[in-house]
Structure 1
Amino acid sequence: MSTVLLTGGAGGLGRAITQNLLKSGHTVVATLEPGGHKLAAQPNLFPHELDLTDEAGCQALVQQIVAEHGKIDAAVLLVGGFAMGSISETDFAAVDKMYRLNFQTTYQMVRPVFEHMSGQPDGGRLVLVGARPALVPSAGQHMVAYALSKSLVIQLSEIINAAGKDKNIVSTVLVPSTIDTPANRQAMPNADPAHWVKPDDIAELVDFVTFGAGKMLREPVLKVYNKA
């Protein structure tokens, strides 16, 4: 049985990925926002409340997972945030907020996970979440802080792949368009969700790149756009 660390387990995407991993027979250790939404108890699901801006807390959780489950085979890091704003509308406080929500929460979990996977004969797989505005400047100009923070996540994945090449550690970046979650439907009531990406489809993709045939990919950046 493989062990997966998943951050943001109670979100719209996190719930779908958690259920798919459990259905596939994996053990899932899911982080939850302190005081936020919970996950119903299920076999092989181990929820932990954790503020991912707490670096020592992230390191302690990785150590706890290894002590209790033996190893971490894959890490799926979903926690992040979103904000609109052009350059003229975006002060540095807004940039710093997106940096902390999107990059800091990712990096502080990547670091101890990568260190642990470096000592495993089988290495490991990481899945990070980028964003199309980080790749397409014409889209990023309307959400500057968000685009900048997600561009760092994409660059981090490239660095992981360079450092992990001889250790069988591969980082995949998923770059979704709009994900069909209740929150996005409420925020964009006039949009057509048929053009969006279904959380269940992303969950299947995560399983593909971590444990399926896609685990043989190197340096993957997957543009999960559907029709959006």
Structure 2
Amino acid sequence: MTTRVAVVTGGAGGLGRVIAATLLTDGFRVALLDRHGAPEAAGELGALGIDADVTDEQSVRAALDGVDERWGRVDALVNNAGVEPAHTLEDLDPTVWQGILDVNLAGPALMIKHCIPRFRRGRGGRVVSIGSRVWLGGGATAAYSAAKAGLVGLTRQAARELGPLGVTVNVVAPSFLRTPLNATKGDPAFVEGFARRFAAASPLSRLVEPLDVAAAVAFLVSDRARAITGETLHVTAGTHLAPYVA
């Protein structure tokens, strides 16, 4: 049981599956956690699937106990679960606000909390949370932008607290991706137009692909990144920069 184990939340979603597949290729055992469809997605990949809600502490604890029972260790945590219901500040419902922060910010905190005993037992570990370029200056919904900015703050604090345990904590912040989550933000013509504008805003004249994000995650959970912690790695094809002028 010496093979490293990675836990990926939101693992049944489009990006989660790509991250899981990449880590499996790199030799990890992978546990997918998701509110819906984790066992089915895991079966397709050859991973372990556990139904879990990252906003429910009892569910988080039970899921990680399940990983322990199967493999006896957790070496890497990838906080990938996320939601972004449409809203503006003017029409914001406090229930929607809280729900977004619960999944995108409180969920990662709970996952980190309950991985700490496993990291301490294993004398080290890796945490990578999926953020977003919007933490720098908005460009999405208010609650989502706030949550992703908060995730950077959480990561920096966690890097300080977990460093003595040999744990690194970082963020991968992508720009627009073609994922099922982003496909729900409008009709196909709207989403396609948004994607074209995003590609045009990139110095590289391209969109980021899920595999690009997964590769960044794979690097940060590897031994090659052992001296990197408290950082935010932008995987945006340059769209996190000021407006690009040729």
Instruction: Report sequence identity in percent.
Output: 25
Q: Does 1:117 align with 2:119?
A: yes
- Alpha-carbon offset, residue 182 of structure 1: 4.8
Q: TM-score, normalised by structure 1?
A: 0.88
Pick from 30, 33, 46 the counterpart of residue 48 of structure 2: 46
Name the residue aligned to 1:160: 158
How many pairs does the alignment contain?
A: 224
Name the residue aligned to 1:58: 60
Pick from 168, 179, 183 the counterpart of residue 181 of structure 1: 179
Name the residue aligned to 1:90: 92
State the distance in 1 between where 2:145 and 2:31 align: 29
Amino acid at match of 1:147: S
Name the residue aligned to 2:105: 103
Amino acid at match of 1:171: V
Residue segments in structure 2 that go unaligned for 5+ positions in a row = 200-205, 240-246
Q: Which region of structure 1 is more displaced relative to structure 2, 102-111 or 31-40?
A: 31-40
State the distance in 2 between where 1:83 and 1:72 align: 31
Name the residue aligned to 1:127: 128
Q: Does 1:81 align with 2:83?
A: yes
State the distance in 2 between where 1:43 and 1:80 align: 21
State the distance in 1 between where 2:95 and 2:173 align: 25
Q: 1:87 to 1:16 in 2, by over 3 A?
A: same
Q: 1:44 to 1:221 in 2, by over 3 A?
A: same
Name the residue aligned to 2:233: 222
Residue segments in structure 1 that go unaligned for 5+ positions in a row = none
Amino acid at match of 2:97: V
* Alpha-carbon displacement from aligned partner over 1:62-108 (angstroms, at most 9, x marks no partner): 12222321211101111011144443232322211211221222222
Preserved contact between residue 39 and residue 50 of structure 2 (Cα < 8 Å):
no
RMSD over aligned Cα, in angstroms? 2.2
State the distance in 2 between where 1:150 and 1:115 align: 25
Amino acid at match of 2:211: D
State the distance in 1 between where 2:166 and 2:31 align: 22
Pick from 196, 211, 214 the counterpart of residue 203 of structure 1: 214
Name the residue aligned to 2:224: 213
SS in 1 for 2:233: strand
